[in-house]
């Protein structure tokens, strides 16, 4: 088992990662009768995507002798109404100053675009990923 989740009431959940004991809490967003005091479940989906992209890229970069430490990522989520779901995710990745040629950048971008979370999402979800080298 990966996690144990407890519904706490008031549209809030507490998820415990069993291996580490780390806890993540979610709250429904204000526009869906929640308090908006924590990440919403759809927020965590988008954060999972962004962190998977950079983690997968960092693994490949390490094989190339490149360090991606201090890379910053901005994530914007757009919801659709009928049915209510994430319709679009915009991700902008800001890399620190790196000495990479176009081939290396392309390899890392292909790696990020094909991370496990991206490959697990519905193909109807619009993903806009911008790499700022």
C-alpha–C-alpha distance, residues 133 and 50, integer Å: 16
Q: What does the pLDDT look like over 38-95, one tens digit per residue?
A: 999 999 999 999 999 999 999 999 999 999 999 999 999 999 999 999 999 999 999 9
Handedness of CA 131, 71, 68, 97 (dihedral sign): positive
* Same-domain check for residues 114 and 65: yes
Look up residue 123 and give its two tokens.
């193909």
* Same-domain check for residues 20 and 75: no
* Same-domain check for residues 27 and 66: no
Handedness of CA 104, 105, 106, 108 (dihedral sign): positive
Give the range of the structural domain holding residue 10, as residue numbers without chain letter.
1-39
* Same-domain check for residues 21 and 86: no
C-alpha–C-alpha distance, residues 26 and 17, integer Å: 14
| CATH number, residue 56 | 3.30.300.20
When divided into structural domains, the chain yields a total of 2
* Same-domain check for residues 70 and 121: yes
| Contact call for residues 26 and 39 (beta carbons, < 8 A) | yes
* Same-domain check for residues 109 and 122: yes
Beta bridge partners of 128: 90
Q: Is 104 exposed, middle or buried (0-12, 13-18, 19+ CB in 10 A)?
A: middle
pLDDT score for 103: 97
pLDDT score for 126: 98
* Same-domain check for residues 81 and 118: yes
Q: What does pTM read for this prediction?
A: 0.95
* Same-domain check for residues 80 and 70: yes
* Same-domain check for residues 21 and 46: no
């Amino acid at each position: 088992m990966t996690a144990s989740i407890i519904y706490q009431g008031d549209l809030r959940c507490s998820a415990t990662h069993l291996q580490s004991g780390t806890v993540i809490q979610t709250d429904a967003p204000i526009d869906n009768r929640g308090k908006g005091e924590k990440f919403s479940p759809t927020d965590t989906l988008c954060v999972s995507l962004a962190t998977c992209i950079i983690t997968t890229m960092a693994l490949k970069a390490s094989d190339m002798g490149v360090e991606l430490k201090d890379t910053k990522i901005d994530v914007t989520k757009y919801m659709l109404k009928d049915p209510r779901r994430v319709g679009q995710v915009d991700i902008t990745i800001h890399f620190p100053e790196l000495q990479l040629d176009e081939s290396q950048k392309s390899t890392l971008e292909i790696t990020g675009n094909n991370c496990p979370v991206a490959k697990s999402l519905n193909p109807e979800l619009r993903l806009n990923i911008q790499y700022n080298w």
